[in-house]
Structures are given as structure tokens and as C-alpha cells.
A and B are shown apart, each in its own frame.
Chain A
């Protein structure tokens, strides 16, 4: 599943777990929590440095969510957008700085370079959209939206739902995986080809790492933006 090594999996209660993913996810969660905890000390009316940073992030994610979702739902989704953005930001970048393989088995990497993780996030977005759709419009309205503009569109709408689910998860997975894969390849070339190769590969690695950080941030932003767009489509009555 991951580059440069196989996974350590185990089965528990009939469910298959990947230890590498679990460690990476937990680590990402802890980093996010530590970051937010550290920034949210001493919250005052007149903001300090840390509070300013935190408020900027809050404003930023609120802006992403509020850009497509409006009104009361936007306030409700603020926390979700904030958490999702920070988690993806950290998770996407984690593997670029920290990649731990022990005897061929990966233990720490970007959790989002695994399709299972990204598809899970995609699925969560989908479920949230369905739940909010039913909650705001009611069952009847919500499912009638699938029959618009006319009944035959049900097929198209359902297919669109499925492709939304797939593209949302796979886009993120593909971007992060490709970044990590190339990094691993460059590292492999550097360590395998002697000191000259090592020196020659250093700037390349540097450039690719910088580019990957850029891509990672963009993908976190894109994921949250698209998620809120999908949700906004579900909580509004479709214009015919």
C-alpha cells in the first residue's frame, strides 16, 4: 500500500488494522492538538501573537466554509472545517519530514498517502452532506433533489454522487502519494549512487520537498473547499 515497504497489519474483532496508518494518524492528531492547544493559551480581548495566529486560521477556514455554505449551517460547520483543514495540513506535510521505515515496514508517513484514509475522509464528507441535507430539507425534499431537473436524472445524480466521493478522496491521495513516492525515489538514488550522486541529488530533493509542501497545503485547502461545496449543494433546494 505504501511506497518503499510493506505494512504491519493485524486483525482485531474481524477488522483489519494497519499499524503504520494508526501511528501516523495518531501522530497527526497529536500534532494538531498540540498546535491548537499551544496557540489557544491566554485568550484575551486584545489578542497576543499566538491568539492572532489562531484567529487568522479560524477566519481562514470560516472563510472557506462560508464561501459556499451560508447562514446558520456555516456557523455549525466552522469547527468541522477548522479541524479538517488543520488535520489535512499536518497529515499531508508529515510524510515529507518524517518517514520511518523499520526493516521494510512503514510505521510513520503521511496518513493521507493511503487511499483508505483519504476515502474515509471523503466518505465522512458525503455522510455529513447527507445528514445535513435531511436535517435542513427533510427526507422528502432531500431525496426529491435527486429527481431534478427530471426523473431520469436520478441515474446521473447518483453517479455524480459516487464520482464526487471517488474524486475527492483520490485527488488528495494521488497528490500526496506522488510527492512521497518521488521523494523516496530521489532519496534512494542519493543513498545508492555514492557521494557524487548524494551531492547532486540534494538540490533536487530540496526543490521537490518545497514543491510537495506547496501541493500539500493546496490539497488541504482544496479538500475543505470541495467538501463544503458538496455540503452546500445538499442543503439547498436545487433550482430547476
Chain B
């Protein structure tokens, strides 16, 4: 059959032309209808995927960096906090000691001044009573014994008496 068509006059040259032209037209139409958009879209998609991978890597790096920074800040903050607490504690300790010291000083001051006052008052009271007793006893003695004594003998007498009182006390 084939040899017949090749050798004989029956080679369908028109068909050959028709096949070629229709194939080329088909190819052109497919290019127009589907090939261009689909290959463009596939290219776009592969580009997008590549971009996405890159940007994902970038964001992951950034996130890691951020986490590291945050961790460092956290550590620093913790250190700061403990330092502040230590100073506060030290300050408190110091203040407490200061207060106690002050109070002690105050107390001892008060005590000493009180002692001094008491001593002074006692001295005054003693002096007063000595004076009073001396004059009183003089009066009494002058009245009772009606014997004249000079004031010096009298004072001596009274002093010895009062001393006796102080010892009894």
C-alpha cells in the first residue's frame, strides 16, 4: 500500500501540506490558549516558592536573633534586680544598725543626764537640808540649852550629826 502511494501518482502531497499546516496552527493555538499562561504560572509559582523559602529562612534567623537578645536582656534584668535587692538589704541593715546605735546613744545620754540631775538635786537637797538643819538646830539648841555657843562649834556639832544621818541612809 505504502509503496503504491510512494511510487504511484497517489502520494497525497496535499495531505502532507494539510497535516503540517494544521499541526502548526494547532501548536500556535495551544500556545495562545494554554501554553503561555500555564508555563508563566508554573514559573511564577516556582519563583514564589523560592522566595517563600528565602523569606522563611530570614524570619527564622531573625526570630532566633530576637530570642537571643531577649534572653540576654532577661539575664541582665535578673542581675539588676538581685543587685538592687542586695543594696536594699545592705541599706536596711545599715539603717537598722544606725537606728539601734542612735537609740543606744540617746538612751545612755538620757541616762547620764538623768544621773547628773539626780546627783545635783541630791547635792542641792543635802546642802539645803544641811543649812536648814544647822539653823534649826542652832535655834533649838539656843533655846533648849540656853547656853551660848559660838556658831563654829555649833556647825561642827551639826555636821557630825548629819554625817551620822548620811551613813545611816
In the docked arrangement, what's the CA distance between A37 and B39, Å?
15
Query: Quick check: A80 and B15 within 8 Å, CB to CB?
Result: no
Known contacts A21-B12, A22-B18, A116-B5; A80/B30 CB under 8 A: no
A107 on interface, CB distance cutoff 8 Å: no
B14 on interface, CB distance cutoff 8 Å: yes
A87 on interface, CB distance cutoff 8 Å: yes
Residues of B within 8 A of A115 (CB): 1-2, 5
Q: How large is the interface on B (under 10, 10 to 19, 20 to 34, 35 or more residues)?
A: 20 to 34
CB contacts between A and B, total, < 8 Å = 114
Within B1-38, the residues touching A (CB, 8 Å) are 1-2, 5, 9-20, 22-23, 25-27, 29-31, 33-35, 37-38
Residue in A15, A36, A78, A87 whose CB lies within 8 Å of B23: A87
Count residues on chain A whose CB falls below 8 Å from chain B CBs.
Answer: 46
Residues of B within 8 A of A83 (CB): 23, 26-27, 30
A33 on interface, CB distance cutoff 8 Å: yes
Residues of A within 8 A of B18 (CB): 17, 21-22, 25
Within A1-55, the residues touching B (CB, 8 Å) are 1, 9, 11-12, 15-18, 21-22, 25-26, 29, 32-33, 36-37, 39-40, 43-45, 51, 54-55
Residue in A32, A78, A87 whose CB lies within 8 Å of B39: A78
Known contacts A58-B38, A120-B20; A79/B14 CB under 8 A: no
A208 on interface, CB distance cutoff 8 Å: no
Using a CB–CB cutoff of 8 Å, the interface residues on chain A facing chain B are 1, 9, 11-12, 15-18, 21-22, 25-26, 29, 32-33, 36-37, 39-40, 43-45, 51, 54-55, 58, 78-80, 82-84, 86-87, 111, 114-117, 119-121, 123-124, 170, 173
Using a CB–CB cutoff of 8 Å, the interface residues on chain B facing chain A are 1-2, 5, 9-20, 22-23, 25-27, 29-31, 33-35, 37-39, 41-42, 44-45, 48
- Apart from A16-B10, A16-B12, list 12 A-B contacts with CB within 8 A: A1-B5, A1-B10, A11-B14, A16-B11, A25-B18, A29-B25, A39-B34, A40-B37, A43-B41, A78-B35, A79-B30, A120-B19
